[in-house]
Chains A and B, each alone.
Chain A
């Protein structure tokens, strides 16, 4: 085959590849890039309560700086994020270790352990709303059966964040455990054999070998959970709608209300883009950490 013919064949192959991948590229642009660009554009618009629209420049972003609800929402988002992430990572690793070592655990029990995250968050929220109802719920009934005082759970401004974090952790800890379990199963047995020969205690083995080797997996789980946790919405929407007062009003809930209840789509877009930037920041930070702990 001559050089010209080979070049023509290569060009044709390139064209074919471009044609074949075009639908996927167009779909991706339409489904991801367009909504993002549109939201950025909306962030520069002002919408009145009646939906009338005008160019706002950076007004929506400068409004964020002086908006108490924004800063409060940011604080609530970060508090929920940190508390939930810590709970889910700690208990996720613990659950993974239990499942890893309990080799004889029947499949049905293993399935039960990891089943909560398969439940739609709305269903989980409804279920916990009933359980934690201060008057009719099972949680207070159990507390009182043991002579303990009842709690207001989701109705107390000081308890609502820990309570929501517990609900979310109940649902998503098994997910973290599943990721960590995969990591545990892939660890090289040789290092454990060496530790055993050296007489290392189980705790020391865990601290010095298992945990460091698991770190990349744990960081991966943290990244996946971070994206969800910073966008905390469904469980709060179902259980408290941001209350009592604004004690659980996360940025996502606040943005939803501003956009869909008060019709200020421009300011809501600015809020959501700020939240997106925070999510990206967290993911980038964890990615760097993952690079640092890789082995």
Chain B
């Protein structure tokens, strides 16, 4: 979806973002303004929040506020959020959100506080809102309202074992066809490893499949209709499912990031297509530091259109203390904190942090970090935040994409049947929006 194409380093003429760039309140800004208040943060217990909360005490010292953390795994966090927001409760002041997934839905439901004015009037001198990825800010803007501030930048990247590629006489893949050819060769050259692994679990498929679809030149929707049965859509479905069916691990239909990282880290997979956030997990133990190969997903007919998203921090529209909540959001997305998080392997959503000498030094320490940053640079400049259908019911649309892919992996349907069934269900879903 062109409207959502990211171009992090290119200024985007968006009114909201222009408004954010102003710092009217910087002069009389006081971090201690809300001293004594308690802010409740509903966090997804992922590497991003874990890195952030390492510095919880710094926030409390700086502001005199108490930060109460309510942390859950991703799905449980959403479950809690749905309950709290449906009850119009003020229990949660700040929550983590994925604008690419639930942004339209939460915005339409009125769950996000509008941060536009606060981001303009209530900012510390050092905050530098203009330094945040303008594209991620745009992706978090719905109906002219800024709904969250970006915490990180991430997307699926291609991990491959350079030692296995060398052993099998293979070069780093440049195209999707190269990936398939490499998988075929590895299957015979080193039968002990799984040639290729990516997400097969139904609700998780869209994250990686979207990259494949966009690289091939497909789109989810055109003219208000689902387009999985377009030639490009069918090609993407066929290629993605074939790679997993013919070269993936047994049981790949239950694979999400945990299983993929475990398989690749243990040395049992030659190629893995998984989140850039998983770098730390994949490299745990150090075995994979010896053979690192990281790339954006290889090109298709449309070149490289990586999936690029980021977690955001939103203030609940039911919060009784949006000002204090905003102070926490501001601190968490400040250049200083994002630099500290970057040094823990959380890709910064600020180009200034990505170019910071200390961060660059950290990157240069390990070859794998250099490859990781190079891949992230491509994600930042060429990425698309379209994961699943750009409709309010985006989470539900991902189910149908995942179902079509699983039907093909399990050989329960032909490509024509799988895409037709998915398009039918998705058209009905689109019509409801």
Bound Cα distance from A262 to B26, whole angstroms:
41
Q: Is A135 within 8 A of B392, CB to CB?
A: no
Residue of A nearest to B406 (CB): A245
Are A155's CB and B82's CB within 8 A?
Answer: no
Q: Are B251 and A135 in contact (CB under 8 A)?
A: yes
B352 within 8 A of A: no
Residue on A nearest B253 in the bound complex, by CB: A244
Q: Which residue of A lies closest to B402 (CB)?
A: A243
In whole angstroms, what is the CA distance A183 to B250 when docked? 45
Q: Is there a chain A Cβ closer than 8 Å to B312's Cβ?
A: no
Q: Is the CB–CB distance between B202 and A134 below 8 Å? A: no
Chain B residue at minimum C-beta to C-beta distance from A47: B86
Q: Does B355 count as interface, using CB distance less than 8 angstroms?
A: no
Q: Mark A242-276, 1 if CB is under 8 A from B, else 0.
A: 11111000000000010111110100000000000
Complex Cα spacing A157 to B254, Å: 11
Which stretch (A7-15, A85-93, A146-154, A280-288) binds chain B?
A: A146-154
Q: Known contacts A49-B105, A50-B392, A136-B262; is A150 also within 8 Å of B86 by CB?
A: no
Give the contact-size bracket for chain B: 35 or more
In the complex, B62 has a CB within 8 A of chain A: no
A217 at the interface (CB under 8 A from B): no
Complex Cα distance, B85 from A257, in Å, reads 17
Shortest CB distance B13–A (Å): 29
Interface size band for A: 20 to 34
Cβ of B259 under 8 Å from chain A:
yes
Most buried by B among A150, A152, A153, A265: A152
Name the one of A50, A155, A157, A261 contacting B412, with C-beta atoms under 8 angstroms: A157
From the candidates B250, B396, B403, name the one contacting A245 in the complex (CB within 8 A): B403
Does A234 count as interface, using CB distance less than 8 angstroms?
no
A residues near B75, Cβ cutoff 8 Å: 261
What is the CB-to-nearest-CB distance from A178 to chain B, in angstroms, rounded to a whole number? Answer: 31
Note all chain B residues with C-beta closer than 8 A to A51: 85-86, 108-111
Min CB–CB distance A265 → chain B (angstroms)? 7
Interface contact A244-B108, CB-CB below 8 Å: no
Instruction: Known A51-B86, A157-B410, A245-B406; judge A133-B251 contact (CB<8 A).
Output: yes
* Given A50-B109, A154-B251: A245 and B79 interface contact (C-beta under 8 Å): no
Interchain CB contact under 8 A, B262 and A244: no
Within 8 Å CB of B108, what residues of A? Answer: 49-51
The answer to whether A241 touches B202, judged by C-beta atoms less than 8 angstroms apart, is: yes
A243 touches B202 (CB 8 A): yes
Q: Check A240 for interface membership: any CB of B closer than 8 A.
A: yes
B128 within 8 A of A: no
**A120 CB to closest chain B CB, in angstroms?**
14
Q: How far is A134 from B248 in the complex, measured between Cα atoms in Å? A: 11
Contacts A136-B263, A136-B266; A245 near B202 (Cβ below 8 A):
yes
Query: A134 to B249, Cβ gap below 8 A?
Result: yes
Asked if B395 is at the interface (CB within 8 A of a chain A CB), the reply is yes
CB closest chain-B residue, reference A157: B410
CB distance A241 to B251 under 8 Å? no
Residue of B253, B268, B396, B412 near A136 (CB, 8 A) is: B268
A241–B259 CB distance below 8 A: no
B420 at the interface (CB under 8 A from A): no
CB pair B201 A243 closer than 8 Å: yes
Task: Provide the residues of chain B in CB contact with A152, threshold 8 Å.
Answer: 250-251
Is residue B433 within 8 Å, beta carbon to beta carbon, of the partner chain? yes
**Chain B, 64-91, contact with A by CB distance < 8 Å: what is the 0/1 string?**
0000000000010011001001100000
Give min CB distance, A135 to chain B, whole Å. Answer: 4
B 247-282 to A, binary, CB cutoff 8 A, 1 in contact else 0:
001111110000100110010100000000000000
- Do A244 and B254 touch across chains, with their CB atoms under 8 A apart? yes
**Which positions 140-191 of chain A face chain B at CB distance < 8 Å?**
150, 152-157
User: 6 extra interchain contacts, Cβ-Cβ under 8 A, other than A135-B250, A243-B202, A260-B78?
Assistant: A49-B105, A49-B392, A50-B392, A51-B109, A157-B412, A260-B82
